[in-house]
Chain A
């Protein structure tokens, strides 16, 4: 079975631009979470979606937004890119949302974003 897939694998943007990252969860998983991982640190939680609804939001500005589609895939959008947005963006899927027995998350390979 395919694991979590993310696209694109790498991306270069300039300051002020907008970017859309995509994630397909493991088949049967209904929850998708997004993380930002800066070099040398652990992943930082951005969003969690379950059944197309936002279930959690981390401490990120409103420039970050996301959505989940009926097939449970998800997109992360970042507007008005800053140099500090350069990071590895990870998507994780789980059967259910955090706080339930089905919360164990499985990660994709990530999208590496470089903002110049």
Chain B
């Protein structure tokens, strides 16, 4: 019930293409977070969303907090090789003190 369903599982795109990935849950979240993880390293925070409907950008990255509070998406525009990595959505379900993570979207960018 409080699991995060992240899709797609993996993506193979050409450099310069736009990317879209999303995260859904059957539970309400008060916060949605998007992280990127490179091999052998800890996740790095990309974007934090705190309000339903909020649309936030960080350079070529844009993320939105769904108005139902049960979903979020992350877009990457004009992808470059350094965008390669695993992207995770995360957040604490409403009324919980723990952070839940999606299974991740593995992005490969071909030059």
Give the shortest distance, in Å, between B48 (CB) and chain A (any CB).
5
Q: Which residues of B contact A103 (CB under 8 A)?
A: 31, 92
Is A99 touching B45 in the complex (CB atoms < 8 A)?
no
Q: How many B residues, CB 8 Å from partner?
A: 27
A42→B103 contact, CB < 8 A: yes
Give the most central of A92, A103, A106, A112: most B CB within 10 Å: A103
Q: Nearest CB to that of A112 among chain B residues? A: B40
Are B43 and A98 within 8 A (Cβ)?
no
Contact (Cβ within 8 A) A99 B92: yes
Please provide the chain B residues from 53 to 98 with a CB less than 8 Å away from any CB of chain A in the complex: 88, 90, 92, 95-98
CB–CB A108/B99 < 8 A: no
CB distance from A32 to the nearest CB of B (A): 12
Q: Is the CB of B103 within 8 A of A98?
A: no
Q: Would you call A99 and B48 a contact (CB within 8 A)? A: no
Per-residue 0/1 for A87-116: is the Cβ within 8 Å of any B Cβ (1 yes, 0 no)? Answer: 000101000011101011111111010000
Can you list 10 contacts pairing A with B, beta carbon distance less than 8 Å?
A: A35-B99, A41-B103, A48-B98, A56-B97, A98-B92, A99-B95, A99-B96, A104-B33, A107-B35, A107-B43
Footprint of B on A, CB under 8 Å? 4, 33, 35, 41-45, 48, 55-58, 90, 92, 97-99, 101, 103-110, 112
Measured CB to CB, the residues of B under 8 A from A are 4, 6, 30-31, 33, 35, 40-45, 48, 50, 88, 90, 92, 95-104
Sample of 10 more A-B contacts, CB < 8 Å, known A56-B97, A104-B48, A107-B35 = A35-B99, A35-B101, A42-B88, A42-B102, A48-B99, A57-B98, A97-B97, A98-B92, A99-B95, A109-B42
